[in-house]
Amino acid sequence: MTDTKTWARVKSPWVLHFNSGACNGCDIEVVALLTPKYDVERFGIKLEPSPRHADVLLVTGCVTTQCAERLKRVYDQMPQPKFVVAIGACACSGGIFEGNYSVVGGADKVIPVSAYIPGCPPRPEAMIDGVVKLLNAINPPKQKKQKENSKEEVKPEAGQTPAPSS
């Protein structure tokens, strides 16, 4: 049953976007992901408005003291297993706002982060790559089995004697 749940989560992750105080640069790129140009639905990714149904939390912006408790509450409402992706320099480390009196720092100061996608703002292609790598880390692709009789026999060329086998 666990394999079925993992398969379902990997094949159709529902994401929740949380803006924790961003300049909206990353938010515009996240919205661009939902357009037909990038078509994230081919990976089964769907934007979900409720944390109770989301599998992946996309965090943009540096975490301020005002929203730190809200971010933690949203994270706690998500069902297990849950994953967090920090999008942009601000969500990864606090960005240019690090050290400000009202900034806690990156998302990892409040909740555990599974993947980091740096950039200011990161391109939609980078976000797709980051989420797909996260999904592959959850359920790595299975390796094809190699045939046991794959040993190639070395045939001697004309005029040579074969090497004795032991």
What are the tens digits of pLDDT across the range 147-163?
A: 555 555 555 555 555 55
Q: Which two tokens stand for residue 154?
A: 């070395």
pLDDT value of position 9 = 62
Q: What are phi and psi of 20, to 5 degrees?
A: -100, 25
Three-state DSSP at 3 gives helix
Query: Exposure of 126 by Cβ count < 10 A (0-12 exposed, 13-18 middle, 19+ buried)?
Result: middle
CA-CA distance, 105 to 47, in Å (whole number)?
25
pTM assigned to the model? 0.74
Confidence of residue 142 (pLDDT cuts 50, 70, 90): low
Q: Which two tokens stand for residue 160?
A: 């040579």
What are the tens digits of pLDDT across the range 17-35?
A: 888 877 888 788 888 888 8
pLDDT value of position 10 = 64
pLDDT at 88 over 70: yes
pLDDT value of position 13 = 78
Residue with tokens 């996260």: 134
User: Once rounded to an integer, what is the mean pLDDT over residues 104-116?
Assistant: 86
What are the tens digits of pLDDT across the range 124-134?
A: 888 888 887 88
pLDDT value of position 103 = 85
Q: What are phi and psi of 23, to 5 degrees?
A: -85, 5
